[in-house]
């Protein structure tokens, strides 16, 4: 047997000779690395966490993983690091399959230098990123590390920039998904922020630029890790995370589901699945005919509408805990992936605010980048009024949603179920922004504003005259409101002008969307040549 040191390296002067000896040397190095991993695995399991390798095995199809650079080690001699050169340098990289489709992956190993990023660690990540981009396959990054490896100084720090540059180069070309299953601190957080989706695990994940100790020292604020950057915070308050999993297994399963709706790259179509759906109205479809309440102020669950349209009623929701006044997610229609954007009357009456507009805009652009048609369901009374919204930039930030729809070249189908007022009607996938097929229910109210508000403005003088004469002001208001509703607040004027393509019974929604998407599978659209647009960031 060849002699190796504690890191698996062969001591100087004892290099093997001959093929058999060299094969034995490889086996010795592999065994040494595996022994070190097992000792570290026990520590990771004690924390209630999977190892870096176990996470990859759970993500990929059984037996499909091919590892890269398993034997590379850091080259630093600072602060005694030369005495601890662990094979792999704290990150496992390689490729495999998810549901038979190729993906590239890297997984940080917290048991090696706390998963910190040094020069070689970073080079391993950039190498697999380059491979993913070169071969046109999705990239999944599993983060569990404490940021930059301080001992390596600038040599390690610069690797963050190398990673970020590749994140940007790959953006819109291949799907990039970040799994945060431990700490992600300092500059390290910006790589996940540049990817398409971030998945965190409750009680396990943390993301922050500056930790609690530094915040306490500089600002005097007393905040814990979970409150500052835990999964709940980023799923409900900051909007950084797209899904908060109950545990690591749930997080990994969610990523596998996400990949099933996305193509390998921007030049391919998303995967499809056999699914037969009748074009005739079914008994299940007829349930939608009674979903909109008679009262305009009574909410209903838009998720129910969406689920009636999608295959098997399955919606993979994105950011379900953030900006809940808008609903976004993936589903299938006739086995073909679609993205869904929908106002949610159950939250804030479905009004659009800054967070909802940005949430929807980001999702529309993601769908457009990866050739996923967008279905939009509209019930929106307008933009949320108030100084807080105005001073925080709803003009600039709300414009992102306009930009996203106007820029999209994928099939766009819009259904107006009830309210579609003012500027909010325009931004929610209107015909004039480029939607291909626009449908409305008979309950649709397409107008500048609601009847009540319009009457208060337009008939202020008439109502004052009634009041001065001692008449019944409220009765007159009701009469004028009904008159305005009949004339303006309905789908018929928009249909008369061609702003909606058809007014349909709610029970026809699934079949009409199916017909539209069948036609639009051959849609061809392009934008004027440009370096890039200037979205109002």
Q: What are phi and psi of 143, to 5 degrees?
A: -100, 130
> Which residues are within 8 A (CB) of 6 and not within 5 positions of it... i.e. 6 or more apart?
32
- Residue 506 has φ and ψ, to the nearest 5°, of -55, -35
Is residue 202 located within the same domain as residue 328? Answer: no
Position 142 in a domain: yes
* Collapsed DSSP state (helix, strand, coil) of residue 105: strand
Task: Give dist(CA 159, CA 128) in Å, integer.
Answer: 14
Q: What is the reported pLDDT for 29? A: 73
- Burial 365-374, CB ≥16 within 10 A → b, else e: bbbbbbbbbb
In a domain, 43, yes or no: no
Contact yes or no for 151/81 (Cβ under 8 A) = yes
Residues 286, 506: Cα–Cα separation, whole Å? 8
- Name the residue among 147, 69, 146 with its Cα closest to residue 104: 69
**Pair 372, 406 in one domain:** yes
Give the residue among 518, 323, 494, 526 at the shortest CA–CA distance from 425. Answer: 494
Asked whether residue 331 falls in the same domain as residue 308, the answer is yes
Q: Please pick, among 36, 424, 435, 451, the residue that the annotation labels catalytic.
A: 424
Q: What angle, rounded to 10 degrees, do the helices at 354-369 and 394-407 form?
A: 20
Residue located via tokens 């279905």: 375
Do 84 and 171 sit in the same domain of this protein? yes
Cβ atoms 340, 329 nearer than 8 A: yes
Q: Look up 423 and say whether it is catalytic.
A: yes
- Classify residue 7: in a domain, yes or no: no
Return the number of other C-beta atoms located less than 10 Å from residue 484's C-beta: 19
Residues 6+ apart with CB under 8 A from 148: 116, 117, 156, 157, 160, 186, 187, 188
Tokens of 371: 């050739």
CA atoms within 13 A on the CB side of 8: 22
Residues 215 and 345 both lie in one domain:
no
Residue with tokens 């301080």: 150
Cβ–Cβ under 8 Å, residues 200 and 180: yes
Tens-digit pLDDT string for the chain (537 aa): 445 554 555 555 566 678 888 888 777 777 766 666 666 677 778 777 889 999 999 999 999 999 998 868 766 656 566 666 667 678 999 999 999 999 999 999 887 766 667 778 888 999 999 999 999 999 999 998 877 676 666 877 888 899 999 999 999 999 999 999 999 988 899 999 999 999 999 999 999 999 999 999 999 999 999 999 999 999 999 999 999 999 999 999 999 999 999 999 999 999 999 988 889 999 999 999 999 999 988 999 999 999 999 999 999 999 999 999 999 999 999 999 999 999 999 999 999 999 999 999 999 999 999 999 999 999 999 999 999 999 999 999 999 999 999 999 999 999 999 999 999 999 999 999 999 999 999 999 998 887 777 777 877 777 778 777 888 767 877 787 777 777 778 899 999 999 999 999 999 999 999 999 999 999 999 999 999 999 999
Q: Do 212 and 123 share a structural domain? A: yes
> Which backbone phi and psi does 95 adopt, to 5 degrees?
-145, 160
Q: Position of tokens 């000792």?
A: 39
* Residue 143 shares a structural domain with residue 241: yes
In a domain, 537, yes or no: no
Q: Which two structure tokens, joined as six digits, stand for 29?
A: 């190095």
CA dihedral 24, 27, 31, 34 (to 10 degrees): 160
Residues for the chain: how many in total? 537
- Give the Cα separation of 121 and 89 in Å (integer): 6
Torsion of CA 405, 406, 411, 415, to 10 degrees: 50
CA–CA dist 134, 391 (Å, integer): 44
| Residues 501, 388 share a domain | yes
Residues 344 and 411 in one domain: yes
Q: Within this chain, do residues 236 and 377 fall inside the same structural domain, yes or no?
A: no
Is 92 domain-assigned? yes
Which residue range is the domain that position 296 belongs to? Answer: 283-449+489-520
Q: Is the dihedral of CA 268, 271, 276, 282 positive or negative?
A: negative
Same-domain check for residues 229 and 334? no
Instruction: Please give the torsion angle defined by the CA atoms of residues 259, 265, 267 and 270, in that order, rounded to the nearest 10 degrees.
Output: 0
Q: What is the CATH number of the domain that holds 417?
A: 3.90.226.10
Report yes or no on 6 lying in a domain. no
Out of 114, 239, 423, 434, pick the active-site residue: 423
Whether residue 186 lies in the annotated active site: yes
Name which of 68, 163, 179, 60 is nearest 118 in CA terms: 163
Buried b (16+ CB within 10 A) or exposed e, 485-501: beebbbbbebbeeebbb
Known catalytic membership, residue 94: no
User: Cβ–Cβ contacts within 10 Å for residue 330, how many?
Assistant: 24
Query: Is the CB of residue 507 less than 8 Å from the CB of residue 286?
Result: yes
- Identify the three-state secondary structure at position 165: helix
* Same structural domain, 438 and 462: no
Beta strands 336-343 and 412-421 are unpaired
Task: Of 367, 494, 357, give the one whose Cα is nearest residue 427.
Answer: 357
Q: Which of 153, 172, 187, 452 is catalytic?
A: 187
**Residue 1 included in any domain:** no
pLDDT of residue 298: 96
- Name the active-site residue from 186, 229, 230, 398: 186
How many domains is the chain partitioned into structurally? 3
Q: What pLDDT sits at residue 1?
A: 47
Tally of CB atoms within 10 A around 142: 29
Please indicate whether residue 141 is annotated as part of the active site.
Answer: no
Residue 264 falls inside a structural domain: no
């Amino acid at each position: 047997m060849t002699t190796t040191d504690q890191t698996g390296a062969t001591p100087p002067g004892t290099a093997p000779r001959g093929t058999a000896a060299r094969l034995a040397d490889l086996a010795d190095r592999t065994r040494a690395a595996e022994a070190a991993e097992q000792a570290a695995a026990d520590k990771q399991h004690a924390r209630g966490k999977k190892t870096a390798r176990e996470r990859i095995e759970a993500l990929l199809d059984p037996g499909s993983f091919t590892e890269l650079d398993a034997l590379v080690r850091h080259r630093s001699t600072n602060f005694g690091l030369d005495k601890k050169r662990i094979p792999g340098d704290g990150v496992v990289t390689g490729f495999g399959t998810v549901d038979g489709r190729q993906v590239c992956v890297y997984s940080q190993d917290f048991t090696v230098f706390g998963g910190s990023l040094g020069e070689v660690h970073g080079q391993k990540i950039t190498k697999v990123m380059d491979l993913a981009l070169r071969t046109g396959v999705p990239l999944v990054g599993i983060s569990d590390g404490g940021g930059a490896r301080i001992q390596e100084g600038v040599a390690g720090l610069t690797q963050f920039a190398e990673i970020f540059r590749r994140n940007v180069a790959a953006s819109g070309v291949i799907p990039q998904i970040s799994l945060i299953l431990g700490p992600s601190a300092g500059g390290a957080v910006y790589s996940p922020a540049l990817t398409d989706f971030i998945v965190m695990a409750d009680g396990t994940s943390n993301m922050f630029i500056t930790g609690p100790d530094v915040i306490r020292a500089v600002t005097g604020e007393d905040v814990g890790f979970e409150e500052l950057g835990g999964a709940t915070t980023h799923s409900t308050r900051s909007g950084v995370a797209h899904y908060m999993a109950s545990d690591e297994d749930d997080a990994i399963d969610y990523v596998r589901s996400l990949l099933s709706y996305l193509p390998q790259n921007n030049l391919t179509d998303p995967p499809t699945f056999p699914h037969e759906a009748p074009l005739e109205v079914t008994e299940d479809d007829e349930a939608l005919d009674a979903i909109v309440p008679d009262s305009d102020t009574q909410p209903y669950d838009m998720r129910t509408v969406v689920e009636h349209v999608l295959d098997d009623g399955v919606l993979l929701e994105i950011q379900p805990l953030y900006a809940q006044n808008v609903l976004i997610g993936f589903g299938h229609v006739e086995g073909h992936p679609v993205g869904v954007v929908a106002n949610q009357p159950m939250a804030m009456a479905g009004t659009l605010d800054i967070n909802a507009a940005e949430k929807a805009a980001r999702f529309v652009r993601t769908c457009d980048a990866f050739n996923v048609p967008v279905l939009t369901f509209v019930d929106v009374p307008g933009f949320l009024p108030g100084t807080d919204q105005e001073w925080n930039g709803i003009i600039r930030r709300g414009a992102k949603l306009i930009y996203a729809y106007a820029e999209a070249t994928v099939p766009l189908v819009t259904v107006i179920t009830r309210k579609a007022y003012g500027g909010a009607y325009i931004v929610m996938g209107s015909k004039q922004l480029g939607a291909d097929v626009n449908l409305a229910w008979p309950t649709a109210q397409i107008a500048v504003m609601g009847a009540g508000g319009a009457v208060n403005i337009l008939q202020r003088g008439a109502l004052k005259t009634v009041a001065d004469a001692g008449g019944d002001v409220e009765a007159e208001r009701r009469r004028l409101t009904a008159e305005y509703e009949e004339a303006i607040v309905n789908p018929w004027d928009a249909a008369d002008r061609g702003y909606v393509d058809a007014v349909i019974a709610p029970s026809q929604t699934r079949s009409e969307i199916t017909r539209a998407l069948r036609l639009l599978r051959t849609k061809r659209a392009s934008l004027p040549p440009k370096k890039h647009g200037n979205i109002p960031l």
